[in-house]
């Protein structure tokens, strides 16, 4: 039976980790201290794998199902969703101004204002 928004909201910590299953591999993981995360379980190369699709309440049930649907489509195409996510993050870092080199150059210029030469 699929999860409802009220069931997700009412999930309380019990002192032990547990999961509330939705459909076809999507589940809400409830930690012992109350943390709630969306997980998608799938089989890759004969082994069960898991990918997190977000933290509740930042990611709602509807958004988690959309992310689950995208990850499921990648698995159906023969693409590992974990590797796809890793590649997209690396590409975003390389394209952005927050890569290590640019941050270092900015920091060095900032520190040069207060440091004396020699």
Percent with pLDDT over 90 in the chain: 53
- pLDDT digits over 18-35, tens only? 999 988 889 999 999 989
Q: Where are the beta strands (DSSP E) in the chain?
A: 18-21, 26-30, 36-44, 47-55
Structure tokens at 45: 């190369």
Q: H or E segment at 95? A: helix 81-95
**In order of start, what are the domains of the chain with their CATH numbers?**
1-79 (3.30.160.390), 80-118 (no CATH)
| Section 71-77 average pLDDT | 92
Which residue in 40, 34, 49, 44 sits closest to 21, CA to CA? 40
C-beta separation of 94 from 104 below 8 A: no
DSSP state of 2: -
């Amino acid at each position: 039976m699929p999860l409802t928004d009220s069931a997700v909201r009412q999930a309380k910590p019990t002192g032990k980790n547990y999961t509330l299953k939705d459909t076809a591999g999507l589940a809400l993981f409830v930690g012992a201290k109350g943390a709630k995360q969306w997980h998608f379980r799938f089989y890759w190369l004969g082994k069960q794998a898991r990918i997190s699709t977000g933290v509740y309440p930042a990611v709602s049930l509807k958004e988690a199902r959309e992310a689950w649907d995208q990850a499921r489509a990648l698995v159906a195409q023969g693409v590992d969703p974990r590797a796809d996510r890793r590649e997209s993050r690396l590409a975003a870092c390389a394209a952005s101004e927050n890569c290590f080199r640019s941050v270092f150059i900015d920091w060095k210029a900032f520190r040069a204002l207060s440091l004396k030469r020699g």
